[in-house]
Amino acid sequence: MPQADEAEKFIYVKLGRIDSLTWSDAEVVVFDCPCALRHMYHNNGALNLPDSISQEDNQPLTDGGTSESPPTDKCTLCMNTVKEVYAVYEANKSHSDLRDAVLALCNFYRKYNEVVCAGVINVHLDMIIYFAEHANNDTITRRFCSLYLPPGSCEFEDEWVVNVDLGTKPDVITPSVPSILNESAVIVHVSDLHYDPTYTLGNNAVCDAPTCCKEDQGRPTSPSDGAGYWGDYRNCDSPLQLVNNTLQHIKQHHQKIDYVYFTGDFVYHGMWESTKEQHTQIITSIVRAFNETFQDTPVFFALGNHEPIQANAYAPLDVDTNVSTKWLFELVSELWSPYITEDAKQTILQGGFYTVKPRDGFRVIVLNNIVCLNNNYWLAYDSRDPYNQLKWLAETLLLSEREGDKVHILYHVPTGMNNQWGSCLKIWGREFHKIVDRFENIVAAHFTGHTHYDEFHVFYSTENASRANGVSFNGGSGTPFIDVNPNYKTYTVDPASWNVVDSDMWIFNLTDANSKPEQNPDWFKLYSFRDEYRVANLLPAQLDSLAHRMAANHTLLQEYYRFYVKNADPSLAKGCDDACLKERLCEIVTVESGDLSKCEQLDKEFDLVPNKH
């Protein structure tokens, strides 16, 4: 490769400078350059490619530009680059040539250091080859770029609906709970533990890799940049002692627990060193720790985006090669067996989703909704209700309606999410919303994870957007990654309706805990939702009203931000300005990615406040 300044000059002269794109945190950057990849490597000696795949100046790269006059829209730039990558492989089917080409791009753009680039490409190479051999056409390439690029750069060219008879929707029954509960159920919600078995006390917490504090990253020059005993606010995942202490504290301080929900992400963010053996070990150890801690208390697990070897990548079932995800489904179908039925095992094997009835009148449905995450590039290959999961969901809810069940739905990714952690495919979110709207009388609550923040979301009727008819609660994270305190949550639930009456957030301050490594962290209840926000319960109408109160009361909204980041020192130091506060409001009322109708209404209410904060 040329030196950095020479390379930048080459790109500017030959291709025209382009704005940097938005990357996924769990995927190698190989597609931001509209370069004539074969031409650049041939002329600069980065690869010794055959003359048959080199190009002369001004020869068309692909449709949409030449090496002197490149296309300007990001979608075409991305598609051209994907085709160039495929062409390197098509020349002689050489795995090593393809690897070297993609590695050169990763190093050229310095997304990660050379070690991470090489590792990520090794982990993903078989997946790239599969796409080159089975999905090398304009339609799939365009879909890939639409998933990869920022919203609005490329339209995702696919349209489908879930083909299932939902029956006639019964008259809506407004949910309610008694003002005083004679009895209650308690649910503990844990999410996103991200256990890192290579976490090393004192090692570098400020590194140029996706996650730091690792065994092979060495000691920092400054001791202040060293990893803390109980974890670190910076790009570091959970040490074993943090995972164990979290579960032990829950068991010791909550005598009555009816169910435990875990909404995904057992595995840490080390996507450049992932192996099947490593992920198997991590998932197995975490599940066994839950089983040993809670014993006869049922634990219901959902899969997250970091469980596959290639992060985010849940392959279709007909992909039966070494990039298949079947090994993961087989693993968890056995590990989760103490709390699930044989029927549940079978649906896990078909896509990582299942349902159980822990008692009469109550059903738990667990989805694998990483199939909606835009960072799951298998959606370019097949996006149409992957695993037929939404059809199964609708049929399961129909059964629940006939049997008189109330339902909790668990999944990893909030369906309206659209931020640095990715977004849920608009079509999938729309179809999901239609289904849960149809069954609003029986779906009592949703439980999610992924973002690592303490947040809630309100669903609205598809026929009357002013009527709230569903609620979702995020479990936060057991890891402090990034700039948050570790947490878990407890919910007080009415066992007659399975509606959530209250929730408590439990945290410890990581700065304080790391200053006393010889002592256990000082866990404490950060707040009670009902007391803090002065709501009667956590039903949809109450939370919709709360969102409007926050728009009008910025002091209350700032308090929401404090809880959102779980009172973490670095996030509180950064603060949350008006734009940040509006984002928090928008997240609350968005359950379909890209649908900003409710956001616009709250924005106007926010702007009416004369003296902010």
Binding-site annotation, residues for Zn(2+): 192, 194, 265, 305, 412, 450, 452
The DSSP secondary-structure symbol of 31 reads S
d(CA 424, CA 375): 9
Q: How many C-beta atoms surround the C-beta of residue 107 within 10 A?
A: 18
112 φ/ψ angles, rounded to the nearest 5 degrees: -130, 175
Six token digits for residue 139: 């339609």
51 contacts 60 by C-beta, under 8 angstroms: no
Q: What are phi and psi of 185, to 5 degrees?
A: -110, 150
DSSP string, 159-226: ---------PPPPP------SS-SS-EEEEEE----B-TTB-TTSBSS-SSSS-SBGGG---SSGGGB
Query: Token digits for 350?
Result: 């078909």
CA angle centred on 189, ends 385 and 386, rounded to 5°: 10
From the list 604, 608, 599, the residue with the least C-alpha distance to 460 is 599
Question: How far is the C-alpha of 507 from the C-alpha of 484, rounded, in Å?
Answer: 10
CA neighbor of 304 nearest in space, from 474, 155, 145, 539: 474
State the amino acid at position 500 in one-letter form: V
Q: What are phi and psi of 300, to 5 degrees?
A: -115, 120
Give binding residues as ranges: 192, 194, 265, 305, 412, 450, 452
Cβ burial of 21 (10 Å; 0-12, 13-18, 19+) is middle
Dihedral angle of Cα 95, 100, 103, 107, to the nearest 10 degrees: 180
Instruction: Report in angstroms the alpha-carbon separations of 67 from 34, 51, 138, 215, 475.
Output: 9, 17, 20, 44, 49
Cα-flanking dihedrals φ and ψ of residue 423, to 5°? -145, 160
The two tokens of residue 310 are: 């290639």
Select from 124, 192, 120 the least CA-distant residue to 413. Answer: 192
Residue in the block written with tokens 């009727």: 461
Is the C-alpha dihedral spanning 267, 269, 271, 272 positive or negative? negative
* Cα separation, 458 vs 471, whole angstroms: 5
CA dist., res. 447 & res. 259, Å (int): 13
Give CA–CA dist 607/450, Å, rounded. Answer: 30
CB-facing half-sphere around the CA of 38: CA atoms within 13 A = 24
Assigned token pair, 239: 């040490």
**What backbone torsions phi and psi does residue 267 show, to the nearest 5 degrees?**
-95, 145
- CA–CA separation, 338 vs 301, rounded Å? 11
Which residues sit opposite 262 in a β-bridge? Answer: 190, 301
Provide the phi-psi class of 194: left if phi over 0, else alpha when psi is between -120 and 50, else beta: left
**φ/ψ bin of 404: left (φ > 0), alpha (ψ from -120 to 50), beta (otherwise):** left
